[in-house]
Amino acid sequence: RKEVEQDPGPFNVPEGATVAFNCTYSNSASQSFFWYRQDCRKEPKLLMSVYSSGNEDGRFTAQLNRASQYISLLIRDSKLSDSATYLCVVRGGFTGGGNKLTFGTGTQLKVEL
Amino acid sequence: ETGVTQSPTHLIKTRGQQVTLRCSSQSGHNTVSWYQQALGQGPQFIFQYYREEENGRGNFPPRFSGLQFPNYSSELNVNALELDDSALYLCASSLSTANEQFFGPGTRLTVL
């Protein structure tokens, strides 16, 4: 089983749509949780951290369910510029792994006119 | 931009050769982590360096080795290159081991 699992997509949605991405992680000792965005052939960039209480940043809402080991990202009112790959990431809880980030394979989003 | 730089941007090698990739961390950052990203996959952790010492290693063979220098820049060395080593190699620097990691633009390595 992969440490972090995501649906690879692609998700093709019209501009203005609401889209949700889900992710599960296997290590219950994981300590921190994030969503990263990666544009084609570029480096990953932190989109937002994820907390159990849920957090929102503009059109983006992230949620963590520690009991189910499940992380979600909701994007409202999608823009063309949201087209990218969204990476679910967890940190910590691994022996000998320092404070490594463990990435899912990413979910590709394409927002269309 | 993150202030993290990597060189070279692209590299082509043949099987069995050795390669050295370089990373300059953001000013004030003492931790560098290296990741390998194969096509269609998420980045995979190779190792992390903190104040010139290795601070954790992922599931990569010993032919992947690294260094961190007193100015906190870092090198990734790969010996006996294999075709499967073809990937984007990313370094990330952070203020310390538990802080946000800022990624450089990566080095794209092709092994023929």
* pLDDT the model gives residue B87: 97
* pLDDT the model gives residue A112: 97
Q: Calculate the CA B22 to chain-centre distance.
A: 7
Does the distance separating the beta carbons of A103 and B43 come in below 8 Å?
A: yes
- For residue A47, give every residue at least 6 positions away whose Cβ sits within 8 Å of its Cβ, in sequence order, or none: A34, A35, A36, A37, A57, A60, A73, A86
Mean pLDDT over the full length of chain B? 95
Does the distance separating the beta carbons of A4 and B101 come in below 8 Å?
A: no
Q: For A3, how many CA atoms within 13 A lie in the half-sphere containing its CB? A: 23
Which band of pLDDT confidence, cut at 50, 70 and 90, is reported for residue A29?
A: confident
Query: Which region among A49-63, A85-99, B56-70, B93-107 has the lowest average model confidence (pLDDT)?
Result: A85-99
Statement: residue B36 has pLDDT above 80: yes
CA distance A26 to A52: 17
Which band of pLDDT confidence, cut at 50, 70 and 90, is reported for residue A104?
A: very high
User: Which residues from chain B sit within 8 angstroms of residue A101, using beta carbons?
Assistant: 33, 35, 43, 45, 92, 101
* pLDDT the model gives residue A41: 86
Statement: residue B79 has pLDDT above 90: yes
CA distance B23 to B105: 10
* pLDDT the model gives residue A10: 93
Whether the CB-CB separation of B81 and B17 falls below 8 Å is answered with: yes
R_g over Cα of chain A? 14
User: Which residues from chain B sit within 8 angstroms of residue A98, using beta carbons?
Assistant: 33, 47-48, 50, 55-57, 97
* pLDDT the model gives residue A60: 98
User: Would an 8 Å CB–CB cutoff place B74 in contact with chain A?
Assistant: no
